[in-house]
Structure 1
């Protein structure tokens, strides 16, 4: 990349030495290298001294599709500067003929006043619809701890952690417009890239020289389109995950802590609610029998009781005398003012015996039921018991609790709270695996 140079508003023209096509030059004071759109020749020329002639440096075989998606000469506000897009190039890697991305040079669109900004000039890089705004960093990053910036991962003084992403030598495949440095010389550079989304930090080093550092920040396609006054669909479609693209679930640790806090609070409330719940009435006992020979099934009615406020009603039915038989009980809670009923059916069975000298039991003599959202009012139960033949008389005990703690709801909410951070973690991990699948230093590769 080039050093800072103010850009005048004067536009002059240079002539391609291969096809004699005229090319506009937006920055004649500093632009010395040009790519011809007609014949794909890359040449050197001095716009301020046309008599010195132009020198052909290289030529590109053919225009690479789809070409620049941003128009050359367009002005945009990026990185706090009014910039003009002056140059476009297609780059690849010398060891990977399939890799290909596009870079745009941005020059000042108006004279800059004061000291030269250390982070200018700017570049835009686009790969598979992912955009990076690249600016100069005058010094190497300050690394915290014993690690160096050449290690696989390290942390800078701001606490941001970087991981080694890629190492390569660039290959110039196409170029249009004007440049203030010979982009072909970049093919001798060794590039090392580190990522800490939404940032990418890159070093460019020529042999044993000290590296130059550049900091790139991820831009959403909408930001690029807005800066250049373009419609979003005119930009390349974004595919896959970008190297510095922010993870949409990057705040999942905070979400996990919040879910844990909510779960703890709900647990405390649930326990308090369970300990302080009022009892509507004590136990009420009935005697039920199996149907007579005519098949008649008795109905028993409980005492009237009052629900003082809307809430859940916990019902416990117990048959302490049931032994080696089963019973099925249909219960109907009846609102004595409205006649509305709330019905449920429960089965009880209890068996026991001795086998090989060991006593065994199976089943239970009690069952529970929850009737939720019961309005306030006066109620009673109608019970329709069905007992196994020859069961005889069996005691049925009813116990009620008003505004009982609904453990099913509590467990459901706790399950959701537990699954939410897990889902976010899995989504975050999947996103990172997709990102690192494009890197030669994929930390997830050892897990496969």
Structure 2
């Protein structure tokens, strides 16, 4: 196809053969009548946001098309959109319409296939379409080759929408045409015509699909929920929560040192190890340092936990805070052979202070202060003698030491002092001498199961609400919107 412009004598060519009636010279932008080989009028050149050129080829749905014409149409004073006329190698027509960066691919259709076109809800190919809007427009700029004379009079577009599909009626003084259109993503257009830059899109396109396919999302969520339920059922049937460690630790036994626990085995996949720590704190605190050691890899997980409990009476009301028991998890512990390294401390002395431990024969009186110093008094002589601790007294071979053993009738004086000291003391801090530790392996956990299901449901609800507002925004420029005015 080859034409010489009568206005500027430049050549205009196109790699297609189909009858044309007018073309716009690419050099001088005059509209040329082919039959009379004369210029008709000068036209504006389509430039703003125009990304395709006349003669450019692209492949859409396996069919190669050539851009034969570009028309910019105007609505009102400031609303423009672009229409690219396409032809395939057989001369069949197709169109690409772009507005605010949103693209629609259209083909001609027979008017008789559009049933009930005079109503607001006509049908086509078994689908019901809703009347969107009437849009009067004029041609603002044009370029390329046209197989019929360009009509510069006001034309009216009547648009009907069904999801990502639309029917567009173009009506002017001479004729009425119908086009069937579907949304096409800008990425598909860019790939089809190998375009470097695409116009930015704003707002929501008239047939733009929602960002998520809700039917596909329902299927994915249902399949995911079913798999999670089956996995949880398998875990529940095949595994049980198991207490793997339970021991009472005396503060005195771990003073300034660590205690190594017995080994225990964890079997199964990674799961939390729940640890419960109890100590009889009373207006005081205790602290436990716990290290979980993997005996194969020597990997150590360290944690420290404070146990605090305080209470009192103030302004006529009693108050309390804290607890004698604390619980925490070591998360993601894998299977293997483990042991604990344990150390602990508490507020106050490890040994209770007391006085008034009297021997059965009323001959000896023993007391102990908070530092552990033991004071022994021979009641008959009334002379007190001090010892560093109960073990020193137990090993004493003097006359007083022999008298103590004889009066109490036992050689284990240190154990007697510790035992009776707990009974005699009224200091709650001193009475607290131990911490109890219990570790439970938790391969069966319903928390993660429930949390994942909750997230899936919340995500689906958010997507559903988002779709509603998406559709409200899509129809906000329509006078026939199906959504109430307070939703806009």
**TM-score, normalised on structure 1?**
0.68
Deviation of residue 313 (structure 1)? 2.3
The alignment status of 1:65 with 2:32, answered yes or no, reads no
User: Relative to structure 1, is the Cα distance of residues 343 and 79 closer, same or farther in structure 2, using a 3 angstrom cutoff?
Assistant: closer
Where structure 2 has 5 or more consecutive residues not aligned to the other structure, the ranges are 350-426
Corresponding residue of 1:35: 24
Aligned partners of 1:172, 1:378: CA distance in 2, in Å?
81
The corresponding residue for 1:170 is 137
CA root-mean-square deviation: 4.7
In the other structure, the counterpart of 1:139 is 111
Determine the C-alpha separation between the residues in 1 that align with 2:67 and 2:177: 23
Go from structure 1 to structure 2 and tell me whether the alpha carbon gap of 1:301 and 1:177 turns closer, same or farther (over 3 Å shift).
closer
SS of corresponding position for 1:176: strand
SS at match of 1:330: strand
Are 1:280 and 1:306, in contact at CA under 8 Å, matched by a contact in 2?
no
Distance 1:195 1:416, change over 3 A: same
Task: Tell me whether 1:86 sits opposite 2:58 in the alignment.
Answer: no
Structure ID, larger Rg: 2
User: Residues 267-306 of structure 1: matches in 2 within 5 Å?
Assistant: 270=232, 273=235, 276-281=239-244, 283-288=246-251, 297=255, 301=259, 304-306=262-264
- The answer as to whether partners of 1:313 and 1:374 remain within 8 angstroms in 2 is no
Inter-partner Cα distance in structure 2 for 1:67 and 1:352: 74
2: CA distance, partners of 1:179 / 1:88: 10
Q: Secondary structure at the match of 1:392?
A: helix
* Contact 1:259/1:417 (8 A) holds in 2: yes
* Match status 1:315 vs 2:275: yes
Contact 2:266 2:334 in 1 (8 A): no
Taking structure 1 as reference, are residues 445 and 154 closer, same or farther at Cα in structure 2, changes over 3 Å only? farther
Whether 2:106 is the aligned partner of 1:126: answer: no
The aligned length equals 404
Q: Please tell me whether residue 397 in structure 1 is matched to residue 436 in structure 2.
A: yes
Shift of 1:138: 0.9
C-alpha contact (below 8 Å) 2:138/2:155 kept by paired residues: no
* 1:213 equivalent in alignment to 2:178: yes
**In 2 relative to 1, CA 405–324 (structure 1 residues): closer, same or farther, beyond 3 Å?**
farther
Tell me how far 1:407 sits from its aligned partner: 6.2
**2:158 equivalent in structure 1:** 192
**Gap regions ≥5 residues in structure 1:** 1-10, 47-52, 112-119
Q: Is the 8 A contact 1:331 1:345 kept in 2?
A: yes
SS of equivalent residue, structure 2 residue 220: helix
Structure 1 position 99, deviation (Å):
1.8
**Relative to structure 1, is the Cα distance of residues 237 and 430 closer, same or farther in structure 2, using a 3 angstrom cutoff?**
farther
Q: Distance in 1 between matches of 2:23 and 2:204?
A: 30
370-379 or 416-425, larger mean C-alpha shift: 416-425
Conserved in 1, the CA contact under 8 Å of 2:29 and 2:42?
A: yes
Distance 1:363 1:283 in 2: 23
The match for 1:202 is: 168
80, 89, 95: which one aligns with 1:100: 80
Superposed CA offset, 1:158-206 (max 9, x none): 55x7555442112012233432333316x34321223445433212245
* Residue 249 (structure 1) aligns with: 211
1:354-369 paired onto structure 2 within 5 Å = 361-369=320-328
Q: Does the 8 Å CA contact 2:286/2:344 hold for their aligned counterparts?
A: no
Query: TM-score, structure 2 length as denominator?
Result: 0.64
For the structure 1 residues 376 and 444, does the alpha-carbon distance in structure 2 shift closer, same or farther, using more than 3 Å as the test? farther
Structure 1, 360-369 or 20-29: larger mean CA deviation: 20-29
TM-superposed CA distance for 1:432, in Å, is: 6.0
Deviates more, 1:174-183 or 1:20-29: 20-29
Give, in whole Å, the separation in 2 of the partners of 1:106 and 1:306. 76
**After superposition, what is the alpha-carbon deviation per residue over 1:422-447, rounded to whole angstroms, capped at 9, x for unaligned?**
67568767876776677677769844
